[in-house]
Copies of this chain bind each other. A is one copy, B any other.
Amino acid sequence: MIANNVEVVDVTDPADPRLDDFRDLNSVDRRPDLPSGKGLVIAEGVLVVQRMLASRFVPRALLGTDRRLTELGTDLAGLDAPFYRASAEVMADVVGFHLNRGVLASASRAPELTVPHVLDGARTVAVLEGVNDHENLGSVFRNAAGLGVDGVIFGSGCADPLYRRAVRVSMGHALLVPFAKAANWPGDLELLRDQGFRLLAMTPDPTVQTLAQAMSGLAEQRVAILVGAEGPGLKEHTMRASDVRVRIPMSRGTDSLNVATAAALAFYERDRLGR
């Protein structure tokens, strides 16, 4: 059953300007942060569109097949935007490639949150530095959502979590897990410390404490998990601004894990017994 408030508009002409939010997604939206991009947030697929509908990002328009419209059904009850209904072929012409997820939603960027806003009420946050790959960033958000992390703080050198691919890989959690960019880096780590957060900096250094050692006894404390880019890791001045350096016990002869996987292990250790 489709919510009866939904304005369904059938579109058969791929050139229809009402579909411009979704046009040439691969090229126009390549750098949404630049003037050539539209800065729009794009959700792909039923699950991610549902999460956008539940988020602070308010849809401007939806484009999808009749089948996906039916699947979304009453999830569209609160929607105040048109649903452009089109065939898969028309959709492919508009976006520039075949889109097997069958539905898209566009939203303007919501106002950015501040670090204090993200910290408010949070028990665990992730702090990222130099995570400049959109897929890794999306994975971090998916892992954060699944493993009890309440917010994400960006230090320097991170990619845009609202980029289309990051949103997709996050399964839409980049729209739901609150995040903020540090205004001063790494100076803003003091804001976390002032709020009682214990700052754990992840490193491959085999001489420091393991995650299990460092997390024990912190159940009643607020914790921030600092993760750097794969390869270089956290910068030394960021390490120095943390409270404790922690490592994952690794097999001999192996190097680091993927950054999102390493973060997931720390998130897991934080809450492995559940709550």
A positions within 8 Å CB-CB of B: 139, 142-143, 145-148, 171, 173, 210-212, 248-251, 254-258, 260-261, 264-265, 268-269, 271-275
Which B residues are in CB contact (< 8 Å) with A212?
272-273
Which of A146, A173, A248, A275 has the most chain B CB within a 10 Å cutoff?
A146
A268 and B251 contacting across the interface, CB-CB below 8 Å: no
Task: Identify the closest chain B residue to A256 (Cβ).
Answer: B146
Which B residues are in CB contact (< 8 Å) with A273?
210, 212, 249
Q: Given the complex of chains A and B, what is the CA–CA distance between A211 and B148 in angstroms?
A: 16
A249 and B264 contacting across the interface, CB-CB below 8 Å: no
Count identical subunits in the complex.
2
Instruction: Give 16 A-B contacts (CB < 8 Å), ordered by A residue.
Output: A143-B261, A145-B251, A146-B250, A146-B254, A146-B255, A146-B257, A147-B250, A147-B257, A171-B255, A173-B254, A210-B273, A212-B272, A249-B272, A249-B273, A264-B265, A268-B269
A261 and B210 contacting across the interface, CB-CB below 8 Å: no
B251 and A147 contacting across the interface, CB-CB below 8 Å: yes
Q: Which of B173, B260, B265 contacts A268 (CB 8 A)?
A: B265
Task: Identify the closest chain B residue to A145 (Cβ).
Answer: B254
Q: Given the complex of chains A and B, what is the CA–CA distance between A35 and B255 in angstroms?
A: 36
Q: Given the complex of chains A and B, what is the CA–CA distance between A146 and B274 in angstroms?
A: 25
User: Knowing that A145-B254, A146-B251 are A-B contacts, what are 12 other residue pairs whose CB atoms are under 8 Å apart, sorted by A's residue number?
Assistant: A143-B257, A143-B261, A145-B251, A146-B255, A146-B256, A148-B251, A210-B272, A210-B274, A249-B275, A265-B265, A265-B268, A268-B269
**Known interface pairs A212-B273, A271-B249, A274-B249; A258-B142 also in contact (CB < 8 Å):** yes
Which of A255, A257, A273 has the most chain B CB within a 10 Å cutoff?
A257
Task: Identify the closest chain B residue to A250 (Cβ).
Answer: B146
